[in-house]
Amino acid sequence: MPGFVPAISKKDEESKLAATQRANAPRMNVISAGLFIAPMLLGVLLTVATLNPFPVIAGAILGIIAALSPRVAKQWERAVVLRLGRYAGLRGPGLFWITPLIDSVSTYVDQRIITTNFAAEQTLTADTVPVNVDAVLFWMVYDVEKAALEVQDYYQAVSWASQTALRDIIGRTALTELLRGREKIEDELQRLIDERTTPWGVTVQSVEMRDVVIPDALQDAMSREAQASREKQARIILGQAEVEIAHLFEQAAKAYHENPTALHLRAMNMLYEGLKEKGAMMIVPSTAVESMGMGGLLGAAALRQQQLAKGEDEETMVPVE
């Protein structure tokens, strides 16, 4: 039996790492550009006027240092500022200033709702059935300070915490409960992941299981079992119907035994129903003729049927000249 295979591929990890690096990379803004260009232009003008290269060098150094001060954080971001390596506070959103060469922005934390796909592959349930479960996690950072200081990479930590929690839930859940009680499992999974990620400043909004895949052989067995169960239920219903019909016949027999007139009326109704169509033939057991007194009725019905047939033959005859 193959073991657990991590759901996050190398490609996914590289893409997430690249996105994090892009978010934390130094960002150029128009104010930084202006602070860099102004000392440079002033240095160039002084160099041209004095024919001394020192002003342009000093202007370039001053412009680089000045450009490091203004920073801009997006509306959904908070910037974590470190001063000489120690936590100094949060900045943003919008424009904020730091002390060049002393302060640094370690990371920009996204506070929007983030989605993370995770899965458990070939994981055994409580009744030793290997299943593949695919789910999606909706989460967000509610405490930027904890997310930046308490965990090295909260993206990766949340992903691995979700996978291990999913494996724990599957390991103590039977296959039937896993297939039928998704809402209960999702709530339990959300609670378990939230307990693990709360110390990191992360809260879980919801967890949704997208797919549960079981082996093909087990699918065929479950299909045959369901079909057999439906056939059994159909036979039970048919048997119950036969019992009810037998009880009704028993009650009808008692009623006809106590009331011969009703029995004759029923016999006449049966004949009428059977002979409504012209040319119809009705087979009646001899015991029914004797017990229900249907001899005279059958004779009258046969005579009437013969008369009707004879009348039709006379109408269809055409005289020959």
Model confidence pLDDT, tens digit, residues 213-245: 887 776 666 667 777 777 888 888 888 888 888
- Give start and end residues of each alpha helix (H) in the chain: 10-24, 30-50, 54-67, 144-149, 154-171, 175-180, 182-197, 216-258, 260-274, 286-292, 295-316
Which burial class, exposed, middle or buried, applies to 207 when counting CB atoms under 10 A from its CB (0-12, 13-18, 19+)? buried
84-101: pLDDT as tens digits: 989 999 998 999 999 998
Q: Name the residue among 144, 157, 186 with its Cα closest to residue 169.
A: 186
**Mean pLDDT (whole number) for 17-22:** 54
Query: What average pLDDT is seen over the chain?
Result: 79
Interstrand relation of 103-110 and 86-91 (parallel, antiparallel or unpaired): unpaired
pLDDT at 301: 59
Which is more confidently placed, 196 or 292?
A: 196
| Single-letter amino acid code for the residue at 279 | G
pTM: 0.62
pLDDT at 6: 44
- Per CATH, is 114-214 categorized as 3.30.479.30? yes
pLDDT at 264: 67
pLDDT at 4: 39
Distance CA 298, CA 293 (A): 9
Q: Band the pLDDT of 26: cuts 50, 70, 90.
A: low
Please enumerate in sequence order all residues whose Cβ is within 8 A of that of 117, keeping only pairs 6 or more positions apart, or say none: 7, 134, 135, 136, 137
Q: Where are the domains of the chain?
A: 26-107, 114-214, 220-256, 259-314
Q: Which residue has the tokens 């008692």?
A: 254
